[in-house]
Structures are given as structure tokens and as C-alpha cells.
Structure 1
């Protein structure tokens, strides 16, 4: 995504398969007969919840799947999607609540299909994943304990991926990928999508500070593979009753590995804090609980901690600017695209108004309280 035109071509190339086409596709590529289809919300790909008919002699295996149809732009990079699929399988084998990847009739983890649209032939990469139970965190009550567990999970995920090997792993060095936190300066070419108001001023200020205070310290951060999108719609939870009869929520699924790339441990915790703030009634306090969980597995260095505030502001800017830009291209998908924006601008402004020192004090004091067991 080296230019605005690239992003536009990607956004405009969002697939538009009908239910009938999807049924035929699942049968021809994966050898499964569809009984029911339901579209799922998505940013610039097309996703479907697919139920499979059981044959009379079959009693085992899942009956519910998610079919993912990548847009034409990302479909040009099948190696990257192959690596993502193998990471999902690797994490699943390591005990993480990720989906299983369904193999094609040709025993691959994905397949390229070509559709004649009349004026041209378009190619789409398709894959089938098992459907995970639970509901998004965005629709669930979030306790400090759950925030701690999510922070811990983010760190465990990154730490586990240290052991992941694949011949095409270099695909995850995605230099101009707009969603890698390293690429915040790329937002400058999309600023025209914002209104000329305080929001734009804040974004410009964040980009300036990022160049001065983060870009100069990247070599001091510890590198790793990032999930890169642990947002409140990509983490599923299920509830159970505690001994006292209260509902206890636990993570039941981690979704959407499409934004994976090489980054840094501090990127993962910053991204997770950002998205956990979105629906929170007490957003500024979220960071301390997530940080405590993360640091129970991977303690941050002083330099990494010092960049955390600006990295959270930067992720808000990425999400808010790209949502505004994508809305201009896809007004029909505005409701989904603007999920973060509903509260995101307010949270970003609040952080900016309070300032780094005041926000850090809340985060670091909350994280420290876990050491003595106060917040537990």
C-alpha cells in the first residue's frame, strides 16, 4: 500500500459474492454442501457465516464455518495469507482459542478463484475457518480482571510466535502496510478525509511527535511478530457462573490475523489498550489493567514504557483517519467503518488534554497495584 491510489484500488475491489455463488464456491473448493449462509461485517474483504449439511453417514467434525474472501488487492499476495494460515494453525496447536483452517480438496490452506466480471477477470483468494463460539468483547461487560487477561493473552501470543518458523516468514515485513504502527507518518496523505477542525490538528500533532519521539527510538524496541488488531470485535468471550453466581467472562476466540506483521512488543500492548478503551465507561483506566496483564508475561523496558502513551494516541489516529477515508470510498459500509469513531475521537482528545504524564501515572500506578495484589 505505497500510495493512496493503492489503498483506493484495494477498497474499491471489495468482493461482492452472492449467497448462491458462495454455496457453489464452498462445494467446489472445499467439498462441503451449504445449508445456510449469513453475511458477516468486514472492512474491505467479504466474510460469511456458513452452516454445512451433514451427510447421513457423517457424525464428526464441525458444522459451522467462516468463509473469508479476500479483496483483489490482498489476493495478489497468497504467500502472506499462507503464512497467516500457518500461524493460526500453530497457535491453535499451542492451545490458543483460534479457529482451525479447513483444507481445500487439493489439500491447500487457501485457493485462488477467478471470476469473469464482464469487463475483466478478477481473482480472489478464499479460505474456510471453523466458526468460533462466543460474542465480541464490544458487546460484553469488561471487568478489570478481563482486561488483565486480555493483556496477558496478547503477550503470550507474541511470545509463542517467537518459536514460529515458515519459509515465507519474511512476508510479514510489510514496509508500507498502513496498519503497522511503524507507518503512522503514512497517514499524512489521507488527512484530507478529515474536517479542518481540532481533530485534524491533534492528528497532525501526533504524527509530528511520532516522528520525533518514536521513529528515533525504534531500534531500542524489541522486535516480534504482532497480531496487530486485537480489537473489541476480534476477541470473543463466553460467560460462566462463578461460585457466588456471578457471570465470569473468559476469552473464547481470537479472530482476524490479516493485519499480522513484524513489529514490536510495545506495539501489541499499545494496540490492545487502544481498542479496549473504545467501549469502556472509564477509558483512561483501561491501560493500566491491560499493561499489568501484558507485563506479567513480558515486562516492558523503560524506553518502551515511555513510548506507550504516544503509541496509543497513534493507533487511535490510524483507526480514525483510515475510517474517515474509507467512508468516502464506501458510504454504504459507514456503520461498520465508523465503530471506533463513535467514541474514539472523544478518547483521543481526552488523552491529549490530560497529557502524557497524567495518563502514564494512572496506567503505571494501576499496573503496579497488581504486584501487591490490590487490583486482583
Structure 2
């Protein structure tokens, strides 16, 4: 929990602007962007171009920062059509640099191209949009397939495959009904899912593909123009990627499985889930809600000044768990995979 327990850097805009000028030769104005662990800044250069300047949390291992940079460079080479940020080199041709914070602690800084577009959360949800997101994630996973890096195996709490490590957080839930609900889904994960995960496909995954991190065109909310925030990437079971992303589509439909089923069906049409993956994808969808609830409750209490950002997914997570509480594992699986099992030629 080190990265989530260490306060993010907090350089003043003027200091960020000076760093960008020194490292990149770019004159620009900096303004803050939201972030969980790192300090992120939007830099608007005098020529109108925009960039994202990232100051890593000092507890983030250097290998993890290198991993994130290398993954973006890999995608740029292997699948240049993927709408992901590009790594901006320093004046010295480096992908990053190291600075000292005021406390004398060293950390890494890097800069990415800024992607224009509208966050999907600001648009009206549609079936076409959900299908575009599912197909888009499958394309991104194809681009990342085969990519390897020593930093990819880092320890990350935002990994549904390791949800059991949050068991101790169950006791911190004050509300008894919520504690019992979370315990039931933790037991479901440890009993039915955890033993199966080692046998499933694994690769580097984005791990945070949701309505805040996918951008669409202003004139077409079903056309994806950007995928951002690769800070939660990790080498993990591929089905965890699908379940994590699908969890964010439960809200907004009378039937909470309608959106996730459309998303999963579109993903499956591009990158099919194996039979074993289909057996646990609904369980892992619930597990994503579980870890979101547990991590956000814990971090909001620790960092009340950042509560609004930390808790932005918390209500939907508890709602999702409640909606799945009375469903058997088989029923949840079948409803989530309804579009996958349609007859040939049918539209989910």
C-alpha cells in the first residue's frame, strides 16, 4: 500500500513551468489535473500545443515509471493507430528526468502529448458507445500482447487478481450491512476465483479503462479518440481487464447487466474470451466493485482533502455489489455473457 499511503508531490505551477522550460525548452502555462498518486499538470505552450507533465509519487519504484513509458513507446511502434499519448523526449533525448523535491527526496518526471476529446462520463451513454469501448479495449490489449518489462510485475492494489490482500480492510467498514456485503464477495473471490487465476491468460493490461479515461469525438460520442491514464498498468490475467472495464457500465440502464453485456460482447467479438475466462468474468466484475469500495473508503479517510476525487466511483461500487448480492454466480455469468452467446448474425 506504499504508493497509496504516500502523499503526491505538490509543486507550484511556477515551479512546474520552470522545469518544463529547463527540461523541454517549452515556454508554457501549467495548471493542475486530477490524480490519485502522482502530480499531473496540463501545460499549454505559447504556440498552442498542450502536454501532460507528470511528477511521480516518490514512493513509485523507478522500474514502474520506466514500465509505463516503455509500454506507450511499444504501442506507438506496434499499433500506431491506437489513440494513446506519446512520450515527449527531453532536450537531451531522454524519456524522463529526475528531480529533487523540497524535502530532498528524488522522483521522476516525464511529459506526454495531450489528447483532445471529451471524457465519456460527460456524454450520454448509448449501446453504440459501449460497443465501441469494448472493441477499443480489445484492440489495445492486442497491441500490448507480447510486451514485457521487468516493472510489469509490480505490486498494485488496483488489481482484481489480488483482491484478497484487502481482506484486512473489511474490518474498517463502519456500516454492518456493507461490511457483510463486502465479506460475502471477498469469500466468493477467494473460494471460486483465486484458485483458477494462475491457469488463465496473462499479459500487460491497462487496468483502468473507464468513463474518465476514454475520450470521444465532440461530434460523435461513439468514436473513441483517446485512451489515457496508464498509471495502473500491470501484468495480470487478461479477463481481469475485461471485468474491470465492464464494471463501469452497470449504472445508467434499467437492467444493470445491459451495458456490461454489450461491452463484453463487443470485446469478445474482437478478442474472444476462453471458456475458463467466461466462467469467472462476472465474479471479477463484482471483485472490481469490491476493491473500489474498500480502497476508496480507506483512502478518503486518510486524505480528506482529496475526498471528492477518491470517492468518485464509491457509490456506484456499492450499488453494483448490492445489485449482484442476490444473484447466483451462474446467473450473473449468464446475464453478463448474454451477448457473447447470441446466435450467429444477431446483434447484442
Q: TM-score, normalized by length of structure 2?
A: 0.93
What secondary structure is seen at the aligned counterpart in 1 of 2:145?
A: helix
Q: CA deviation at 1:278?
A: 4.7
Contact 1:193 1:328 in 2 (8 A): no
Q: Is the 8 A contact 1:278 1:340 kept in 2?
A: no
| 1:82 counterpart residue number | 66
SS of residue in 2 equivalent to 1:339: coil
Gaps of 5+ in 2: none
1:156 aligned residue (125, 132, 139): 139
Q: 2:45 aligns with which of 43, 52, 61?
A: 52
Moved more, 320-329 or 153-162: 153-162
Partner of 1:221: 200
TM-fit CA distance, 1:349: 0.6
Distance 1:355 1:138 in 2: 30
Distance across 2 between alignment mates of 1:266 and 1:370: 23
Query: Does structure 2 conserve the Cα–Cα contact (< 8 Å) formed by 1:291 and 1:367?
Result: yes
Q: Distance in 1 between matches of 2:145 and 2:107?
A: 31
Partner of 1:138, secondary structure, is: helix
Query: Residue 215 of structure 2: SS of its match in structure 1?
Result: strand
**How far 1:315 sits from its partner (Å)?**
0.7
8 Å contact kept, 1:99–1:131 = yes
Residue number in structure 2 paired with 1:59:
none
Flag the 1:170–1:282 CA change in 2: closer, same or farther, 3 A.
same
Report which stretch shifted further, 126-135 or 271-280: 271-280
SS at match of 1:17: coil
Shift of 1:305: 0.7
- How far has the Cα of 1:87 moved from its partner? 1.3
2:119: which partner in 1?
Answer: 136
What secondary structure is seen at the aligned counterpart in 2 of 1:116? coil
The alpha carbon displacement at 1:13 in A equals 2.5
> 1:324-339 counterparts in 2 under 5 A?
324-339=297-312
Counterpart position of 2:268:
295
Q: How does 1:190-205 map to 2 (within 5 A)?
A: 190-205=169-184
Matched, 1:96 2:97: no
Aligned pair 1:276/2:276, yes or no? no
> How does 1:349-364 map onto structure 2 within 5 Å?
349-364=322-337
Displacement after TM superposition at 1:281 (Å):
5.8
Alpha carbons 1:236, 1:251 under 8 Å: kept: yes
What displacement does 1:342 show?
2.5
**Residue 164 (structure 1) shift:** 2.8
Residue 39 to residue 116, structure 1, CA distance change in 2 (3 Å) = closer
* Cross-structure match for 1:344: 317
Name stretches of at least 5 consecutive residues in structure 1 with no aligned partner: 55-61, 241-246
SS across alignment from 1:322: helix
